[in-house]
Amino acid sequence: MIVEERIYSLQVGTAPEYLRLYEAEGLAIQRPILGRMVGYFTTEIGPLHQIVHLWAYRDLAERSERRARLAADEGWKAYVQKIRPFVVSQENKILIPAPFSPWAQDDPALDMARP
């Protein structure tokens, strides 16, 4: 199991509208395609105006397949055009769980939204 961490740095003051659009439109498109959302967060201390979200995958191959499906989705393409003006930068990391982490095993209990 791997976890992808995505961090979006936003224009100052745009986080509430970004989150409103994501909840209203983006979530319904992204969640069924990507499958296992670990969490979606905003920052309050440290670098501000950031959105952090985590998605779990069995491996890089599953991630690549799901990300390709998302990129090809017409609804997603339209949604991205709406939020793109808010985004200053994006950072991605692939997190590999330590052997003792609950995410180290491909545990069906962790499959929160397997389509």
In this structure, how many other beta carbons lie within 10 angstroms of the beta carbon of residue 21? 16
**Rounded average pLDDT over 11-26:** 96
Task: Reply yes or no on whether the pLDDT at 104 is more than 80.
Answer: no
Domain 2-110 has CATH 3.30.70.100: yes
What is the C-alpha separation between 22 and 62, in angstroms, rounded? 23
pLDDT of residue 108: 57
* Identity of the residue numbered 74: E
The sign of the CA dihedral 79, 84, 86, 88 is positive
Instruction: Note whether 92 and 4 are within 8 A (CB).
Output: yes
Segments making up each domain of the chain, as ranges: 2-110
pLDDT 10s digits, 21-66: 999 999 999 999 999 999 999 999 999 999 999 999 999 999 999 9
pLDDT of amino acid 111: 54
Could you tell me the two tokens for 50? Answer: 């950031």
Q: Could you tell me what percent of the chain has a pLDDT over 90? A: 83
